[in-house]
Amino acid sequence: MKIAFFPCNNGLGHIKRSLEIAQNINRRIKIDFFTKYDLDYNFKKKKNLFIKEIRNPHKLDEFKVSSYPKWVNYLDLKKYDVIYCDTLPELVLVRKKIIIFANFFWNKIFKLNNKIFKDIDRNLSSSKIFTNYLFYHRPSMRRKKSIKIGFFGKFIRKNYLENNNILISIGTAKLENSNILIKQFKYQIKKNKNYNFYIDKKYFNYFKNMNNIFLAKHDKQMFKKISVAIIKPGFSLISECFKNGIPIFCFDNMQNAEFKHNSKILVKNKLGYKENNIAKLFNIALNSEKKIKKKLYSKYKNLKWRGEKFIINEFKK
């Protein structure tokens, strides 16, 4: 069997999630993994997994242009037995039946009404769509046969952790008015000198001259150290925080509908706190009572896990 993997290239979460699945598929199955990124994850290299460079949309603006999603017309998928994608439903235009993981679709996030999206929606009826049981976007999944699954992986942290290591994540995707946020974050970091703050690589240079700043590598070793996360609420990072029992305090101002949806789900299910005033956000995240953070930790522990098994089982049929 030969499988083609197509993760969305906008942000690293889609790619990381797809790699988790690819790494757990039977070694006898050959996998071509299409991405624009030079992957540097700490995944075990497998002889049956081949990285292929591709130029599918990776900037938010590219999802809004009239030519989207014509990139699929240049694909030759005849040699593949199965097509898997993360948040790229347009692949049904060139292969009638595919396997998808998605909590949302870009045309619904940006409210795009091109005729092509009606064709995509109609063709999706033959495909299996897996989505997270809490964070799925209802407008995206309306009139589709979606299969709701748990979070990928398992809950890791056995005991609640309390220390001064704080993750600040503004994300890897385009951020509107990022200079305003960076200025606000810098002020709060200077103000809270007793804490160690871990910052994303994309924005690290804005903070590197500060004594209490460290590079956020987003690997297992880093997550083991973190006790609180102040983040832009992307689903992949939310999942990592849940998995590692890290209380979430988020902001969603100046963000697209995806992040506003995620923050709404966090608050509705009492899985985190949202505050768009950055000064207040830091105050809540750093000064909340221990029992509040421990309650979040306990909630994460009791979420549904091992959702990836449902997808991996599809490749055994």
Residue-range domains of the chain with CATH: 2-149 (3.40.50.2000), 165-301 (3.40.50.2000)
pTM greater than 0.85: yes
* Chain length of the chain: 317
- In this prediction, residue 155 carries a pLDDT of 97
- In this prediction, residue 68 carries a pLDDT of 76
- In this prediction, residue 125 carries a pLDDT of 85
Query: CA 125 → CA 73, 285, 288, 315, distances in Å?
Result: 20, 43, 46, 19
- In this prediction, residue 128 carries a pLDDT of 94
| Token code pair at residue 205 | 């240079």
- 8: phi > 0 → left, psi -120 to 50 → alpha, else beta; which? beta
User: How far apart (Å, rounded) are the C-alpha atoms in residues 253 and 276?
Assistant: 6
Say if CB 83 and CB 77 are below 8 A apart. Answer: yes
- In this prediction, residue 58 carries a pLDDT of 61
pLDDT per 10-residue tile (average), the chain, 317 residues:
92 88 90 77 68 74 74 91 95 93 91 85 91 96 94 95 95 66 92 95 88 93 97 95 98 87 97 97 95 96 96 89
On average, the pLDDT of the chain sits at: 90
pLDDT digits (tens, 9 = 90+) for 154-191: 999 999 999 999 999 987 655 556 778 889 999 999 99
